[in-house]
Amino acid sequence: MVNPLSIADIYIFILAGFLGFQLISRIPPLLHTPLMAATNAISGIALVGSIAVAGENYSLLTNILAFIAVTCSTINVVGGFLITDRILKMFKKEKPHSENKT
């Protein structure tokens, strides 16, 4: 018999994945840059929450889902910071090259 808590965990995991996909796919590309800081913060919260759930050792299924959540959140946070860094570099003014006086 499957634990009812495990069924609820699977339901929440699938619902969160579907909702996240729907939210991200409906954002126009022009708004991706301004929203990057907020999504990095949300991903950081998800990362901390998934690490907390993984550390509680509820059941094997919960540990597997928490590991998946930690992995996905980590990839999202690191990718978000890399993209934000790349975008910020696009807006920096280039310094003029100084000529060597010899």
Mean pLDDT, residues 9-23 taken together: 80
Cα within 13 Å of Cα(3), Cβ side? 9
Extract the tokens encoding 78: 């690191």
Predicted confidence (pLDDT) at residue 78 exceeds the cutoff of 80: yes
At 33-77, the pLDDT tens digits run 666 667 777 778 888 888 888 888 888 888 888 899 899 888 988
Report CA dihedral (42, 51, 84, 39) to the nearest 10 degrees. -10
Report yes or no on whether pTM surpasses 0.85.
no
Q: Using CB atoms within 10 A of its CB, is residue 43 exposed (0-12), middle (13-18) or buried (19+)?
A: buried
CA–CA gap between residue 64 and residue 101 (Å, rounded): 63
d(CA 59, CA 44): 24
Give per-residue pLDDT as tens, 21-34.
777 777 776 666 66
- pLDDT bin (cut points 50, 70, 90) of residue 81 is confident
**What is the residue-averaged pLDDT of the chain?**
77
